[in-house]
Amino acid sequence: MSETRLDEIETRLAHHEKTIGELNAVVLGQWRRIEALERQVSRMNEEMQNMDSGAVPVDRPPHY
């Protein structure tokens, strides 16, 4: 294999490794965001269930 060809392959490999690292960082950030949103939805569901179970009937005004 020629020296030029080997340099070309090494350059491509370096670019691929950089790209993979950047993509990994993006995926990791998205995963963290998804987990945070899942926790938030779970808390909201619990709050909704608590509101439903402890609901006090409210007299509606006559215009309803």
> What is the C-alpha separation between 60 and 23, in angstroms, rounded?
55
pLDDT at residue 57 above 70? no
Cα 20 to Cα 12, 36, 49, 52, 58, distances in angstroms: 12, 24, 43, 47, 57
- Tens-place pLDDT, residues 3-54: 999 999 999 999 999 999 999 999 999 999 999 999 999 999 999 888 877 6
**Res 19: pLDDT:** 98
User: Is 64 a domain residue?
Assistant: no
**Res 64: pLDDT:** 63
Number of domains composing the chain? 1
User: Is 51 a domain residue?
Assistant: no
User: Is 3 a domain residue?
Assistant: yes
User: Is 19 a domain residue?
Assistant: yes
**Res 60: pLDDT:** 75
> Which pTM value belongs to this model?
0.64
Q: How confident is the model at residue 55 (pLDDT cuts 50, 70, 90)?
A: low
User: Is 23 a domain residue?
Assistant: yes
